[in-house]
Chains A and B, each alone.
Chain A
Amino acid sequence: MPGQQFSTGVFRTIWLSAMPAVEMTSHLYRFFPALENREIRVPAGSVAQVLREVDTIAAGFSDYVLDERGALRRHVNISVNNTVVFDRKTLSDFAPDDATVYIFQALSGG
């Protein structure tokens, strides 16, 4: 949800802030400009569900992060808060209401 929608009412503010946030490497904005300069909040759920929600904002997003089997791509990492996801194969790690899900590149060179 865009940040400016926080001013639409007390109830909505509380509801929004109780959903996990999604943040990502700015490199992905090149391919998905709709995700730039906005707050992304989606319902709590598995990381796989979180990514599917991001897909509804930016079609094709999860194709960049996951392969066609739904596994995390080799050079991509996702963390829930400070914990890198354990299940890279089905992304079943849970992102609770107060979490921030970070999507970033895995370092693969020096």
Chain B
Amino acid sequence: MSDTILLGTRKGTVIVERNLSRWQSRPIVHQGIPVCYAARDPRDGTLWAALDHGHWGPKLSRSRDGGASWEDVLSLKYPQGARHIVQYLPTPDFDPHAPVGEPTYKDATVYKIWNIAFGPAAQPGRIYAGTIPGGLFVSDDGGDSWALNRPLWNHESRGGDLFSGEATSETHWGGTPASIDYGVFEPGIHSIVIDPRNPDRIHVAASSAGVLETSDGGKTWVGRNKGMRVDYLPNPDVEWGHDPHFVTACRDQPDHLWQQNHFGIFYSADGAHSWSKVSAPEAGVHFGFPIAVDAQDGRTAWVVPARADSERMAIGGGLFVARTSDGGQSWQSHRKGLPQENAYDIVLRHGLDVAGDCLCFGSTTGNVYLSEDRGESWQCLGNNFPPVYSVRFG
């Protein structure tokens, strides 16, 4: 059971703590600054927040005293020579000069530090960060310095090694709408899943590309999208161009991976070698952004469904959480304690977390709900938070 929850919100970082039987929020930190992800490193207790300054660029912020004081970490930068093929929104009003045919290149800069993942205890100081425009950064010194994972950046699925010259292939990584605030349409890495049994085995997920896996510590990467479908395409069974919203894995059964995708919920019991669609659209369990999996039982997962996809809010004005305990063959909807009328919440991809029997989620409407019975009933921790981007137990 965890007694601390970190919220990354539109207006700063909120730490919610259990004091005896009550959950109470500390005064907000990073006040007024959007925080797209906040989490605690379980190895040494360091708190991390990914700041999304409107004017001053993305920054990491770190606290080594439990949140009493925070320091900027300014070292996460693209190296000289890092380029990418420019993506354009497929709308004529976004960039009327958008080229067709020949690729346009751009020097890479960080638009958004979208998530942070911590290495295993055996690799103290190892931290990962995923960015828009689609970079995986690695630190081995607790975040003091960072290196871009070049094999993934140079992957043939996105044009090859642009450090060395022209693209050698077409890019299959599409842009994410999450990048449009920065005036661009680029992909982003929002999910980083490290296998506790073998830290050289990592899955990442990128919008809108798909899932990739390395089994050699990041030297080589392969796509892991078999069984995933892009329903709006004439041929939905494509290698790339998938839209995972979030991917996670069971701690004790790491070959059980779960994915809330734009096109449904997908489950893999074989280490992402193949995925099965396990949505239940008739029950409203299909579209959404976050997904959480039990730490011990890889067949148990939770989602917070929403209406797909032009509405992107609670279905029928009622908020619910769906749980499966049989690998997605059946889903149970849990509504106790959640608003069942006039609710317009949407829970973003990092906005749901699980720790033991506790689950917590926060919505862009500023509502935060907690369950202490595996999602069956919920209590409200507050209705007046800023829009919530991330929820992580600390």
Q: List A residues at the B interface (Cβ < 8 Å).
A: 27-28, 31, 60, 63-65, 67-69, 71, 73-76, 105-106, 108
Contacts and interface: CB of A to CB of B under 8 A. Distances in A.
A29 to B, nearest CB: 13
Contacts of A71: 109
A108 B56 contact: no
A74 B55 CA distance: 7
B78 A108 contact: no
Contacts, number: 35
Given A68-B77, A68-B78, A73 B55 contact: yes
Nearest to A76: B55
Given A60-B72, A63-B74, A69 B55 contact: no
B56 A31 contact: yes
12 contacts: A28-B56, A31-B72, A60-B74, A63-B59, A64-B53, A69-B107, A73-B57, A74-B182, A74-B183, A76-B55, A106-B55, A108-B54
A75 B74 contact: no
Given A73-B55, A73-B57, 11 more contacts: A27-B55, A31-B56, A60-B74, A64-B57, A67-B109, A67-B110, A71-B109, A75-B55, A76-B55, A105-B55, A108-B54
Contacts of A69: 107, 109
A12 B183 CA distance: 47
Nearest to B56: A64
Nearest to A104: B55
Most chain B CB atoms below 10 A, which of A65, A67, A68 = A68
- Closest 6 pairs (CB-CB, A-B): A68-B77, A64-B56, A67-B109, A75-B55, A63-B74, A105-B55
Contacts of A106: 55
Interface in B23-71: 53-57, 59
Contacts of B53: 64
A32 B242 CA distance: 42
Contacts of A74: 182-183
Interface string B181-201: 011000000000000000000
